[in-house]
Structure formats: C-alpha cells, structure tokens
Amino acid sequence: MQLVKLIIPKKINTLHGFHLALMILFFAGFSPVFSQDNSPYSRYGIGDLVPQSHITERAMGGISAGYADPFSINFVNPASYSSFMAGIEPKSKKMAFGRAILDIGVDLDSRTLREPATKKSFVASNALFSYVQVGLPIKDNWGLSFGLRPLSRISYNLFNTQILTDPSTGLPIDSATTRYVGSGGAYLASVGTGLSLFHRTTKNGEEKLSIGVNAGYLFGGKDYSTKRSIINDTVNYYQSNYETKTTFGSLYFNGGLQFKVPLNKKMLLTIGADGSLSQKLNATQDKLRETFVFDTNLGDVRLDSIADLRNVKGKIILPATYTVGFILQKLQVINKEGGWLLGVDFMQQNWSQYRIYGQSDSVQNTWQLRVGGQLNPIPKRNYFSQVAYRAGFFTGPDYIKVGQKMSVMGASFGMGLPVALSRQAPYQVTIVNVAIEYSKRGNNNNILKESMFRFSVGFSLSDAWFIKKKYD
C-alpha cells in the first residue's frame, strides 16, 4: 500500500509481457514438493488449516479485511480487487493501461510435537505451494482475479503398541500394534471480481465503497485407515484394516466489502469485512473393513472383508466464517516522506455447524484476533530504504478440541523486497515478499502441544498492459 506514480512515455516500441512470469506460474503450479509432516491433529475436521492470506498480509499477523494494494492480490477480501491499478485517458476517460499482477507463494515449515506426559518430541518438515493467483483490472475501480490455493492438509502416520487384557479378569492376553494413517486435504480454485459502488473526490482524497465476490470449486479428500496386528507366540492372527476414504467437491462462495475514507491528505482509514455462509459439499465415501496379510512383493493382500461399501453419497457441512477489521495508513510520498500502516482484524468461525455424513467431530467454534503493521522508510539511494518492513501477531483458540481446549498464538515478521529489472521493461514491478511466522498450539494440559516455524516466500510480478502504442 504505497502511493506510486506510474510514468508512461510517449514512445513505446514494444510491450514486455509476462513470459517470465508464466514460466514461474507453470513450475510453481506443477512442480512436486516434499513433505514429511506428521500432525495427529489433522485427523479432525477438514485437517490442519493452512494460511489463507497473501504472504504480505501474513507477515502482518494475517490482517486482510481492510488491506488493498495495487502490486499484490488480497484474495481473502474480493472487494480489494477494485484497487487494481488502471490508467485513464483524460479526454476519452477510457482505460489506457492496466497493471496486471501474478502472485505465487511457497511455504516451508518445521513442526515440533511434544508429549507433555513423557517429554518426548518429534520434528517434521514440509514444503507446500501456498497460492497461485492472477489479478487484472477490467476498468478503473473494477478488477478481476482468479487462482488456486490449498485450504487444509491431512498428514499423519502413528504407531501405538499396547497390552490387551481379558475384560472379565483384567489379566493380560496379547500385545497389539495399531497403525493410524491419514492423508488428504482441501483445495479451492476460484475466480472473483470487485468493483466500486461509488467513489468521490474530496479535499483530502478519494472516498470509495467497494464490494466483491469470489466463486469457486472447493474439492479434496480424506483417507483414514486404522491397521491392527495382534502379537502372540503360539497363535497367528490376521491383521485388520478399518479404512474410510472420502472425496468431496462443490461450488463455494465468499464476499466482502471495503470502505476507504481519507482522514486528511496524508492519512487513510479503510474499514473492511468479508466472510462466507455455511455451505454444503457433495461427498462420496468408500468404507472398507477387512483382514489382510502383508506380502513383500504385492503389499497388503486381502483375505476377507466384513464390509466393502463403495460410492456412498453424503454431505459435508462447512461452517460460516466472518472477519471484520480496519487499517489506518499514512501514505508514503515518494522521495519526500515515509509511510506506515496499522491494522486490526477479528475473525470468527462457527465450527459447531460442521458435519460429515450427519456426524459431528472434535471441533469447536473459534475466533482469532490479528494485529499487524508495515513501515515504509523515506526512499533514498541505499537499497534497504526501499524495503517495506512488516510485523504482527495473532491469538485465539484452535478449532480442534480433543479433551481440553487448545490455545493458538503466534508472531510474524516480513519484508517486501523490490527487484530491479531491465530498462527494456520499464513498467514491470517485481517484489519478493518474505515472512517468518512462529506459532504455538496447546499447552501441558493437552495430549500434544505443538510449535512451528514457517518461512514463506512469494513473488508479486506486475506489468502494465493494454498500453496504446504511440508514434512520432
């Protein structure tokens, strides 16, 4: 969110497009990522919720309701799409150029699980693409955006060895080893638009009310299995497998609004809100209850099945989500004054509404408070005066509840690093956004407590397009 002056020369020999950006989009969208994650809490609900906002916003504690920037895409609140930059010809009042944006993000995190009772710990790391998003101005105060991003992740692989006892005598009988395995997650492919309902110029600047909506296809799957082996010196028991595999997908909608009010010529207040109603997803489920043996060449080989149900239709109900917030900003004046912004968001999710095939889960209603800010120094000759510095924190209860409630809190820091490009492409602006987040989930009263470091890097590439060529 910077006050930027875009200069258009009279002579334009060619328009440098997004050929490099499209290559990055291809590799970011289809390159494999590594994962060694092992999160038992991802068993519940739709799994571990991954960050939903742009890396720029996550570096500021996750504030997004009132955020809008012509050089990045706030896909959480679609009303921000109305702030995509467009140049207007004074005479015809038609769009002479637009600033198109390509945003790509990748997350690297290290998760440490600790068992308070035994003080044992487990460390896992993984990499995951965070989002691929494109933003286009349709005309002044009207924008369009589309992209793909993950919403949740399911990944765990646990072993448990226990002594089985005779229920009538309480004496030990045999030992049993149980393996719990889960995989899957949810993804959202969406397209949205945001436009200004009204805007007017006051003595302090432009006042604007914008609304927006995202429509997309939310899809994914959950594959849970429990395999048990009974160990006995004299009797051979067959191994058992209890597996449920669910796939789902349906249309998904969310909307938002933003109201910008200039308090004076240097201060801007933006009030925002976004959210979605409770929505139903169409689901198909396979249920398998079987005995099997393991073969070194063939893997698990079925011996007999107690139940083998295929393509069982049902519904998954996702909860309503609401976020409100504001951003107070001091505008940066290039070569004269630095700028800053401070924002606060409050988010609420009603997970008590969650159902999978009519059944509830170990989840609860949750809220989160997010506070963050950004500092833009006075630009000088040195590089670090051109950098945007960001920081924030967040706190609230986790949406997963297994036994005791779990609190979640964290802090973040990040920077927006501008990249110098060739003079042959004078309209291209590239910013590398980095964020470092540290979060804690649970405490000594919970079965497991978790701490996580996440390093995120994103590329915001933008270029002017639809520029009319002019000749002498």
- What DSSP string describes 24-84? HHHHHHHS---B----GGGGSTTSEEPP-S-HHHHTTTT--TT---TTS---SSGGGGGGS
Q: Is 384 helix (H, G, I), strand (E, B) or coil?
A: helix
Task: Give the residue from 277, 283, 286 showing the smallest Cα distance to 356.
Answer: 283
Question: How many angstroms separate the CA atoms of 427 and 467, rounded?
Answer: 10
| pLDDT at residue 448, rounded to an integer | 83
Q: Where are the alpha helices (DSSP H) in 114-260?
A: none
**Tokens coding 299:** 């893997």
| pLDDT at residue 298, rounded to an integer | 65
| pLDDT at residue 37, rounded to an integer | 64
| pLDDT at residue 468, rounded to an integer | 55
Q: Is the pLDDT assigned to residue 451 strictly greater than 60?
A: yes
Across the strands, what pairs with 316?
A: 281, 356
Return the C-alpha torsion angle 178, 179, 182, 183, nearest 10: -170
Amino acid (one-letter) located at 300: D
Question: How many angstroms separate the CA atoms of 216 and 281, rounded?
Answer: 12
| pLDDT at residue 238, rounded to an integer | 73
Q: Is the pLDDT assigned to residue 16 strictly greater than 50?
A: no
Question: How many angstroms separate the CA atoms of 224 and 249, rounded?
Answer: 18
Model pLDDT for residues 81-124, shown as the tens digit of each residue: 999 986 555 555 555 567 899 999 999 999 888 888 777 888 88
Strand (E) or helix (H) holding 19: helix 19-30
Buried b (16+ CB within 10 A) or exposed e, 53-85: bbbbbbbbbbbbbbbbbbbbbbbbbbbbbbbbb
| pLDDT at residue 118, rounded to an integer | 79
Q: Is the pLDDT assigned to residue 182 strictly greater than 70?
A: yes
Question: How many angstroms separate the CA atoms of 462 and 466, rounded?
Answer: 13
**Tokens coding 471:** 């000749």
Across the strands, what pairs with 259?
A: 209, 271
Domain boundaries, the chain: 19-431+459-465
Measured over the CA atoms of residue 62, residue 68, residue 69 and residue 74, the dihedral's sign is positive
Question: How many angstroms separate the CA atoms of 433 and 54, rounded?
Answer: 9
| pLDDT at residue 208, rounded to an integer | 94
| pLDDT at residue 443, rounded to an integer | 80
Longest dimension (CA), the chain: 100
Model pLDDT for residues 147-178, shown as the tens digit of each residue: 999 999 998 888 777 777 777 777 777 777 88
Q: For strand 239-262 and strand 267-276, is the pairing parallel, antiparallel, or unpaired? A: antiparallel
- CATH 2.40.160, applies to 19-431+459-465: yes
Q: Which range is most confident: 192-206, 274-288, 396-410? A: 274-288
Question: How many angstroms separate the CA atoms of 431 and 449, rounded?
Answer: 36
Task: Band the pLDDT of 32: cuts 50, 70, 90.
Answer: very low
